[in-house]
Amino acid sequence: MQFPIHHSEAKSILSSTSGFIAQAGFTHSLTPARNCTFGCTYCYVPTMGVYGGLKREDWTRWGQMTTFKTNAAALLGKSLKPHQIIYCSPLVDPYQPAEETEEMMPAVLDAAIASPPRVFAIQTRAPLVLRDLDRLRTLSSLTTLRVGFSITTNDERVRRLYEPHCAPFESRLDAVRRLREAGISVVATLAPVLPCDPEALVRAAIDATGCDLIGDPFHVRATKSSGATTRDAGFRISRKNGYEHWHDPVFQASLTLRMQETARAAGRRFTIGPEAFATLAQPLRT
Ligand code: SF4
**CATH number of domain containing 109:** 3.80.30
pLDDT, tens digit, for every residue of 230-261? 989 999 999 999 999 999 999 999 999 999 99
Cβ count near 206 (within 10 Å): 21
Q: How far is the CA of 174 from the centre of ligand 1 (A)?
A: 20
The amino acid occupying position 6 is H
pLDDT, tens digit, for every residue of 102-144? 999 999 999 999 999 999 999 999 999 999 999 999 999 999 9
Kindly report the protein residue whose alpha carbon is nearest to atom 6 of ligand 1. Answer: 40
Phi, psi torsion values for 206, nearest 5 degrees: -70, -40
In a domain, 18, yes or no: yes
Task: Count structural domains, the chain.
Answer: 1
pLDDT for the residue numbered 59: 82
Pocket-testing residue among 3, 20, 35, 45, ligand 1, by greatest number of atoms within 8 A of Cβ: 45
Name the strands in the sheet holding 270-272, side by side, starting at the edge strand that comes first in the sequence.
14-16, 28-30, 85-88, 119-124, 144-150, 185-190, 213-215, 270-272
- Ligand 1 proximal residues by C-beta, below 6 Å: 36, 38-40, 43, 45, 63, 92-93, 125
Q: How far is the CA of 266 from the centre of ligand 1 (A)?
A: 29
In a domain, 286, yes or no: no
Looking from the CA of residue 63, the nearest atom of ligand 1 is 5
Q: How far is the CA of 44 from the centre of ligand 1 (A)?
A: 8
pLDDT for the residue numbered 4: 93
pLDDT for the residue numbered 227: 76
The alpha-helical segments, DSSP class H, found in the chain are 19-23, 56-60, 72-79, 99-102, 105-114, 133-142, 156-162, 169-181, 198-209, 232-240, 249-265, 273-281
Pocket-testing residue among 21, 29, 40, 65, ligand 1, by greatest number of atoms within 8 A of Cβ: 40
What angle in degrees, to the nearest 10, is found between the helix axes of 198-209 and 169-181?
Answer: 20
Strand partners, 188: 149
CA distance 206 to 12: 37
The mean pLDDT of the chain is: 94
pLDDT for the residue numbered 1: 63
pLDDT at position 97 over 80: yes
pLDDT at position 184 over 90: yes
pLDDT at position 51 over 70: no
pLDDT at position 216 over 90: yes
In a domain, 17, yes or no: yes
Provide the residue range defining the domain that includes 39.
Answer: 5-281
pLDDT for the residue numbered 226: 77
pLDDT, tens digit, for every residue of 158-180? 999 999 999 999 999 999 999 99
pLDDT for the residue numbered 264: 98
Q: How far is the CA of 41 from the centre of ligand 1 (A)?
A: 9
19 — alpha (psi -120 to 50), left (phi > 0) or beta? left
Would you place residue 52 in the very low, low, confident or very high pLDDT band (cuts 50, 70, 90)?
low
In a domain, 236, yes or no: yes
Pocket-testing residue among 34, 38, 152, ligand 1, by greatest number of atoms within 8 A of Cβ: 38
